[in-house]
Chains A and B, each alone.
Chain A
Amino acid sequence: AQSVTQLDSHVSVSEGTPVLLRCNYSSSYSPSLFWYVQHPNKGLQLLLKYTSAATLVKGINGFEAEFKKSETSFHLTKPSAHMSDAAEYFCVRDNYGQNFVFGPGTRLSVLP
C-alpha cells in the first residue's frame, strides 16, 4: 500500500515568519499529491494539488509546494505566516487513482 509521511506532528512559528511543513511519499510511481487544511471542528479544504504538470504548485492563501521526485518529497511552504493559518495540515496522495491516502497531519501554531 502507498504511504505518506509527515515528518513533524507539530510546527510552531511566529507571525510573519516562513512556514515549512514537510511531506514524503512512498515511490512506486509518481502520484498525484495534495495538501489539505483543516481548521478546528471543520471539514478539509483543498490548498493545492500536483498532477504531473509544473513541479512548483501554487495554492490558495499564499501557500505553495514543490514536487521533488528525487527526494520523494512535497513540502508545503508560505513566506509569511498569518494567525489565520493556524490549523491542521494533511499531505495526501492518490492510491493508483482509486482512492486517497492521508498522512497523519501536522498541527501548525502561529504565535503573535
Chain B
Amino acid sequence: NAGVTQTPKFQVLKTGQSMTLQCAQDMNHNSMYWYRQDPGMGLRLIYYSASEGTTDKGEVPNGYNVSRLNKREFSLRLESAAPSQTSVYFCASGTGTHSGNTIYFGEGSWLTVV
C-alpha cells in the first residue's frame, strides 16, 4: 500500500541548477497536487492537475513547471533554482475536483538551494 511516493527525499542544489521532483500515486486518483511548506505559512499550492492532460497554477507557481505524465505521475521541475525555493515539497493526490474530495500526501521532499 504505497499511496503517494515522492523522490528524492532530500536534495541540495546550487543556485541556478535545475531539478525535477517525481511523484507517483497508485490509488487511481484523478487529481494531483504539488504544495510547498514553509515555517509559519502552512502549505501553499504550487500547481495542480484536475485530471490527466490538464494542469493549473496555484497560489505560488512562479519558478516552477509541472508535467502530468499520465494518470499516475505528476512531476515538478525547477528550471533555475533560487534560495527562495528552499522548502519542503509535498505531492498529493485526490479523488477528484468535487465536494467530498479528500487528498492524500506523500512523505515530502526536503530541498535546499545554496
Question: Known contacts A94-B99, A99-B58, A102-B42; is A44 also within 8 Å of B33 by CB?
Answer: no
Give the dominant DSSP class at B's interface.
loop
Total chain A interface residues with beta-carbon distance under 8 A? 26
Question: Known contacts A42-B108, A43-B105, A99-B33; is A51 also within 8 Å of B42 by CB?
Answer: no
**30 A-B pairs (CB sep. < 8 Å):** A1-B59, A32-B99, A32-B100, A32-B101, A36-B105, A41-B108, A42-B107, A43-B106, A44-B90, A45-B105, A49-B102, A51-B100, A90-B42, A94-B99, A97-B99, A97-B101, A98-B50, A98-B56, A99-B33, A99-B45, A99-B58, A100-B33, A100-B45, A100-B103, A102-B42, A103-B42, A104-B40, A104-B41, A104-B42, A105-B42
Which residues of B approach A to under 8 Å, CB–CB? 4, 33, 35, 40-45, 48, 50, 56, 58-59, 90, 97-108
How close is B54's CB to chain A, nearest CB, in angstroms? 11
Question: A34 and B102: CB pair below 8 A?
Answer: yes
Q: Determine the chain A residues whose CB is within 8 A of the CB of B100 once the complex forms.
A: 32, 51
CA distance A100 to B59 in the complex (A): 11
Scoring A residues 3 to 39 as 1 if CB is less than 8 Å from chain B, else 0, what string do you get?
A: 0000001000000000000000000000110101000
Which residues of A approach B to under 8 Å, CB–CB? 1, 9, 31-32, 34, 36, 41-46, 49, 51-52, 90, 94, 97-105
